[in-house]
Amino acid sequence: MLTIRSLDVIYGRSISALEGVDLEARSGRVTAILGTNGAGKSTLMRAVTGVLGASGGSVTSGSIVFEGQDITSAPPGAIAAAGISLSPEGRRVFAGLTVEENLRVGGRLVDRKRRVENYERVVDLFPVLEERRRQPAVLLSGGEQQMLAIGRALMSSPQLLLLDEPSLGLAPVVVQRIANLIVEINRQGTAVLLVEQNSRMALAVSDDAVVLETGKVQMSGSAADLASDPAIQSLYLGDAAADSDAWGATHA
């Protein structure tokens, strides 16, 4: 579905952020990208969604192909139209707009009939958004804003949903809910590419996983294999995470 080959990204003239990155996100699956601060996860998200230029980055070699279409240098609108949608890090809902208006913005690229269907799907997944639909997004809790950000991304009927740090800053019980919802969204047929510092949660909901370190892929494979790998356990699923709670939700 999404195939990234030998991708190199730099910021400015020479700051290397990604080097020779290979990644495959398959249809029907959840793929996790793990890595500590500065590993290159956000850079990869920017490259896939076509917004690298806005932060001074550029692809210097390699390719990003989605459903057979080369999107390596495509503008963000074309990438969205091709079927990729992002729920950004830090949620970034439109604080002054109501919940319903936020969702409508997410559905602006699809026709009215599809928009109504997608709205029904979103409020089925997140009933609280229907209850709060006339309230400004700023009044929602952190977890509800995360649900709104994911819901807004789903409004464009993506084939591939990108989730950038959906657990960031949320309480463990809310992280658990978000994790369950990721599984449900995937079960309904949407492929998911999940960027997470909360490795425990990410590996629990994913089929496949890639570990990035200083811009390079250190390891990739099935999430189950990675979760049982001693190096991953000590580096990403270590005691600090295990002590905090089942989902290691203190990574923010």
Burial class (CB in 10 A: 0-12, 13-18, 19+), 126: buried
Q: Which of 4, 21, 40, 248 binds ligand ATP (CB under 6 A)?
A: 40
Question: Which of positions 47-66 make contact with ligand ATP (CB under 6 A)?
Answer: 55-56
Rounded to the nearest whole angstrom, what is the least distance from the CB of residue 110 to ligand ATP in the complex?
29
Rounded to the nearest whole angstrom, what is the least distance from the CB of residue 148 to ligand ATP in the complex?
21
Q: What single string gives the DSSP state of each residue in 142-199? A: HHHHHHHHHHHHHTT--SEEEEESTTTT--HHHHHHHHHHHHHHHHTT-EEEEEES-H
Task: Specify the DSSP class assigned to residue 86.
Answer: E
Q: Which of 7, 23, 25, 39 binds ligand ATP (CB under 6 A)?
A: 39
Q: How far is the C-alpha of 69 from the C-alpha of 2, rounded, in Å?
A: 9
Which C-beta is closer to ligand ATP: that of 12 or that of 68?
A: 12
Rounded to the nearest whole angstrom, what is the least distance from the CB of residue 228 to ligand ATP in the complex?
24
* Contact call for residues 190 and 161 (beta carbons, < 8 A): yes
Q: How far is the C-alpha of 222 from the C-alpha of 231, rounded, in Å?
A: 15
State whether residue 217 is helix, strand or coil.
Answer: strand
93 binds ligand ATP (CB under 6 A): no
Q: How far is the C-alpha of 228 from the C-alpha of 207, rounded, in Å?
A: 14
Rounded to the nearest whole angstrom, what is the least distance from the CB of residue 37 to ligand ATP in the complex?
4
Q: Which of 11, 109, 125, 225 binds ligand ATP (CB under 6 A)?
A: 11
Rounded to the nearest whole angstrom, what is the least distance from the CB of residue 149 to ligand ATP in the complex?
16
Distance of CA 234 to the CA centre of its chain: 24
166 binds ligand ATP (CB under 6 A): no
Which C-beta is closer to ligand ATP: that of 46 or that of 115?
A: 46
Q: Which stretch binds ligand ATP (CB under 6 A): 33-41, 63-71, 143-151, 202-210?
A: 33-41
What is the pattern of x (binds ligand ATP, CB under 6 A) and - over residues 210-239? ------------------------------
Residues 6+ apart with CB under 8 A from 234: none
Q: Which of 2, 7, 42, 47 binds ligand ATP (CB under 6 A)?
A: 42
* Contact call for residues 194 and 32 (beta carbons, < 8 A): yes
Residue ranges binding ligand ATP (CB under 6 A):
11, 15, 17, 35, 37-43, 55-56
